[in-house]
């Protein structure tokens, strides 16, 4: 009888460590994955948490019949370990998409494992944000096939066509921002732009992230929205946000106009889906069939105004709207999809030109990245909002 091979992911916090984890996942496809329950419930900030889940989703897609084995230093009993893992959307999504779940040497039926996350799922479904907030971070997760798949803060009806309009989502965006940053206020234009982006991303997900390129439905798919308050200290910036000259110049420019301290802070929104990825969907080909230059061009094409692949007519202007507002606030937008990690930052005192152009490589143009499942879009808006 063959012994199942297993590898562990541990100490995964920074974006650099997540990229290293992706290399490990690609090299060990069809292996079981062992991860500490505390790593699934840990809050690292909206950008890192969504990127960490994207790593786990990539493993789940590459290893559809493999087990997610949950570890714990605090307990060897099944229920406490599952409860800790299900304390956050990252853990719930990982359990929902894994081929199987084990705690120590015990195989756990998926419904039993997910039952420990039911209170959190119910709170998200009903928009009971006080039950979801932890620290200064709040999250909304949609899992296909779940009884609570279509969350009321995001959907008007339990249907793929029931995504709330941008007007209905303004209330959701304002409520999430208020929980993450009670003393900060987003102006109405920024709220409207984020609501429009939320509407278009979730609507596009219903059209294109639920099926593979050949039309086969994914066994499980997820969509996640995380909002949180981010404080960019020098130490954090060195780990994740100073990886190229443009980013270093951007953060230095923001820190220089801070009124009291050289520390940038603001609201961060991350949107993640587990679909085939923007460039692959546009090109109609898997990433291993797309030359890197073609993929890069396709992704940048997806980010331009009025580019949409919806079956029904849509403006595709959500990203342009939010980019325009982010530019005025001197924020940034980052996209991780396929083999690309690109961003556009808007430093003060710079002519920004067309906000949908001039995206740069996050890790530099020479860095070759592993492909990831889905698309992750992160928006950062400094607060207080700076003015020219």
What's the pLDDT score for residue 304?
79
What's the pLDDT score for residue 76?
78
- Is-contact 91 117, C-beta < 8 A? yes
What's the pLDDT score for residue 139?
97
Contact partners, residue 118, CB within 8 Å, separation at least 6: none
What's the pLDDT score for residue 309?
46
**pTM (2 d.p.):** 0.94
What's the pLDDT score for residue 259?
64
Residue with tokens 């009025």: 306
- DSSP labels, 331-387: -EEEEEEETEEEEEE--TTS---STTS--EETT-TT-----EEEEEEEEEEESSPP-
What's the pLDDT score for residue 321?
87
Taking alpha carbons only, the member of 145, 109, 142 closest to residue 125 is 142
Tell me the two tokens of residue 289: 């069939």
Tell me the two tokens of residue 31: 């292996």
What's the pLDDT score for residue 268?
95
What's the pLDDT score for residue 207?
82
What's the pLDDT score for residue 312?
46
What's the pLDDT score for residue 115?
94
Number of Cβ atoms within 10 Å of the Cβ of 305: 17
What's the pLDDT score for residue 1?
32
Walk along the chain (388 residues) and give the pLDDT tens digit of each residue.
Answer: 345 799 999 889 999 999 999 999 999 999 999 999 999 999 999 999 999 999 999 999 999 999 999 999 887 789 999 999 999 999 999 999 999 999 988 999 999 999 999 999 999 999 999 999 998 999 999 999 888 999 999 999 999 999 999 999 999 999 999 999 888 888 898 899 999 999 999 998 888 888 888 888 888 999 999 999 988 876 777 778 888 889 989 988 888 887 666 678 899 999 999 999 988 988 888 888 899 999 999 998 888 754 444 444 444 577 888 898 899 889 999 999 999 999 999 998 888 888 888 999 999 888 999 999 999 999 999 887 554 4
């Amino acid at each position: 009888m063959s012994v199942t091979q297993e590898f562990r992911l541990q100490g995964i916090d920074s974006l650099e460590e997540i990229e290293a984890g992706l290399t490990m996942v690609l090299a060990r496809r069809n292996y079981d994955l062992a991860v500490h329950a505390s790593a699934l419930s840990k809050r690292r900030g909206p950008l890192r948490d969504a990127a960490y889940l994207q790593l786990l989703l990539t493993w789940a897609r590459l290893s559809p019949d493999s087990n997610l084995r949950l570890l714990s230093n605090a307990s060897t009993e099944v229920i406490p370990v599952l409860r800790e893992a299900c304390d956050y959307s990252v853990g719930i999504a990982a359990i929902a998409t894994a081929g199987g779940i084990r705690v120590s040497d015990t195989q756990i039926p998926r419904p039993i494992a997910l039952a420990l996350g039911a209170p959190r799922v119910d709170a998200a479904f009903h928009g009971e944000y006080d039950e979801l907030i932890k620290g200064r971070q709040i999250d909304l997760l949609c899992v296909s096939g779940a009884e609570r798949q279509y969350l009321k803060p995001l959907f008007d009806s339990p249907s793929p066509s029931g995504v709330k309009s941008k007007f209905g989502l303004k209330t959701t965006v304002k409520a999430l921002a208020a929980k993450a940053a009670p003393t900060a206020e987003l102006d109405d234009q920024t709220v409207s732009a984020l609501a429009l982006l939320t509407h278009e991303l979730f609507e596009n997900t219903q059209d294109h992230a639920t099926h593979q390129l050949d039309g086969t439905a994914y066994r499980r798919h997820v969509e996640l929205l995380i909002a949180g308050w981010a404080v960019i200290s020098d130490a954090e910036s060195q780990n994740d946000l100073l990886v190229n000259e443009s980013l270093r110049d951007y953060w230095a420019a923001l820190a220089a106009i801070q009124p009291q301290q050289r520390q940038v802070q603001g609201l961060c929104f991350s949107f993640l889906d587990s679909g085939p990825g923007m460039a692959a969907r546009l090109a109609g080909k898997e990433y291993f069939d797309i030359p890197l230059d073609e993929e890069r061009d396709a992704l940048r094409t997806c980010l331009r105004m009025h580019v949409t692949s919806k079956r029904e007519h849509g403006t595709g202007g959500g990203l342009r709207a939010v980019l325009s507002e982010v530019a005025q606030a001197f924020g940034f937008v980052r996209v991780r999809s396929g083999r690309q990690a690109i961003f556009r930052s808007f430093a003060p005192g710079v002519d920004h030109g067309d906000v949908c152009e001039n995206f740069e490589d996050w890790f530099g143009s020479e860095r070759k990245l592993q492909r990831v499942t889905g698309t992750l879009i992160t928006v950062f808006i400094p607060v207080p909002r700076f003015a020219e």
